[in-house]
Amino acid sequence: MNWRVYKEELIHTGKELVDLGLVAATWGNISIRLPKNQGVLITPSGMDYYNINPEDLVVLDLQGKVLEGERKPSSEKLLHLTIYRHRPDVQAVVHTHSPYATAYAVVRKPIPALVEDLAQIVGGDVDVALYASPGTQELADHAVNALAGKMGVLLANHGVIGVGRDITEALRVCQLIEKTAQIGIMAKMLGEPVLLSDNEKRIMRQAYLFHYGQKEEK
Ligand SMILES: [Zn+2]
């Protein structure tokens, strides 16, 4: 099996992460769940996103066994695999170290869903997972717990996880988390941000899931 389309999508997303300023150099990582749980396609460890070719990507099974690829997989493979095992709805995972969101992760405060797009795509505030060392199963377990049923979470003193029903959505989650963190910090300089009610956030999430874009109104 060569899974060419998925490999191209993943490589393209890696370049977008760099272009959007969500990662520096080789940090961060991306994965896609292959159809019918045939495996998880993941970025190699420590390679420049602009130098990754399809043959550099690694395919793992959900337990972490290498099914395809010669490279060492991402050092955060446990994080990706644990999310896929716990969240059947998740088809892609993007992990970034973007600065504004990481500022919240450093003070260990959730990013409030202050604006419509974040409330819609994440499904509420972006919570902070308990601290654990990078690359550990403990980090993965804390991330899954804090993610709960939502689409984004912060890793304490570390960075951001965005998940999606496809890779485009997972990338958008990371992008909107960073944008909202920036808005939150700027808004604090101007005054006290007015928070949206839980009910309003729920309505926005439902609207996104069922009526957003070109979906037919029912
Ligand atoms: Zn990281």
Domains and CATH numbers, the chain: 4-211 (3.40.225.10)
pLDDT at residue number 162? 98
Looking at 9, 16, 76, 178, which residue is catalytic? 76
Q: Which residues pair with 100 in a beta bridge?
A: none
- Which residues make up the environment of ion ligand 1, defined by Cβ < 5 Å? 159
Ligand 1 centroid – CA 145 distance (Å): 17
Question: Looking at the predicted structure, is the pLDDT value of residue 218 above 70?
Answer: no
Q: Which residues pair with 33 in a beta bridge?
A: 40
Kindly indicate the confidence band of residue 33, based on its pLDDT and cuts at 50, 70 and 90. very high
Ligand 1 centroid – CA 203 distance (Å): 32
Report the distance separating Cα 48 and Cα 46, nearest Å.
Answer: 7
**CB of 113 closer than 8 Å to CB of 201:** yes
The residue among 217, 215, 172 whose CA lies nearest residue 20 is 172
Ligand 1 centroid – CA 157 distance (Å): 10
Ligand 1 centroid – CA 96 distance (Å): 6
Phi and psi at 160, nearest 5°, equal -125, 145
Report the distance separating Cα 12 and Cα 26, nearest Å.
Answer: 15
Considering the chain, what percentage of its residues have pLDDT values greater than 90?
92
Residue 76 is among the residues annotated as catalytic for this protein: yes
CB atoms within 10 A of CB 164: 22
